[in-house]
Structure 1
């Protein structure tokens, strides 16, 4: 093979420049692809904790917040609501909240909360994912004379007391879920975080 009239140094330069440009092109194409593996700002926000101001929540009322795309209820229970909770125990599937994964360890108690006055629940029925209605009235005509207040799921009739515990003989298999939470102050609860 004759190399007469061929500038070998120039050929090597062109081959090297072409290879370098190809490498730059591959890197430029790879950067957006690799960045797409990172969660979006919306996805990061969806998993982030939520600060809920409960300072204006009246006794006997419920506030709704959103965490991870789900409704989270904060109910400020009255002394009478708390006194009525043990009266439901015989009619509940899991009165002692022994089912794993339904609440953090610090909410595995008779009132299912850190502070008895405040109940914090994920507002999703454990049957098929409907959102139960807050029904705090006692002896509601449509729920019976023994109703002490709680949550009623209109989709399939599941009933929960004011600790989110499920009644017997309803479709929901387990208590309403207590999400991880902690109190930053008396007025602020952080949903989605726990004390270390």
Structure 2
């Protein structure tokens, strides 16, 4: 499971590489409806995702400062060392890699400003 704080400059840069992604609009149902947005999250600055590659279930590595070595012009992301799949900071998969789908966004909600409960929707809590 990943819970990552994303700075504003990273959020602003997300749409700049949409043309390199397999499913930039998250049309595949890999997230709850409330996270089917440009950031794939409830709060844009907080990213919550299941840390398993959608190819064969390996655990991608979070590269906060060196993802540009994997995808030129993209500073941060997730790289799966097993077979080379690459995901941006919204968990969207890049084209030309083995992973067929974006990372899974689990159900979750904020209990308060500093606590997130993963695994349940607010309505079901």
TM-score band w.r.t. shorter chain: over 0.9
1:118 to 26, 46, 62: 46
Provide the aligned C-alpha RMSD in A. Answer: 1.2
- State the TM-score, normalizing by the size of structure 2: 0.94
Contact 1:160-1:175 within 8 A present in 2 as well: yes
Query: Does the aligned pair in 1 maintain the 2:26–2:102 contact within 8 Å?
Result: yes
Instruction: Tell me the distance in 1 between the aligned counterparts of 2:12 and 2:5.
Output: 14
Q: Is the 8 A contact 2:67 2:78 kept in 1?
A: no
Bigger-Rg structure (1/2): 1
Q: Take 1:193 and 1:132, find their aligned partners in 2: how far apart are those partners?
A: 24
Deviation at 1:87, TM superposition (A): 0.7
Distance verdict in 2 for CA 1:153–1:139, change over 3 Å: closer
Corresponding position of 1:23? none
- Report runs of 4+ in structure 1 exceeding 4 Å deviation: none
User: How many pairs are equivalent?
Assistant: 123
What TM-score comes out, normalization by structure 1 length?
A: 0.61
Q: Which structure shows the bigger proportion of residues in helix conformation?
A: 1
Q: Any stretches of 5+ residues in structure 1 without a counterpart?
A: 1-71
- Cα distance in 1 for residues equivalent to 2:65 and 2:55: 23
- Higher RCO structure, 1 or 2 (CA under 8 Å, sep 6+): 2
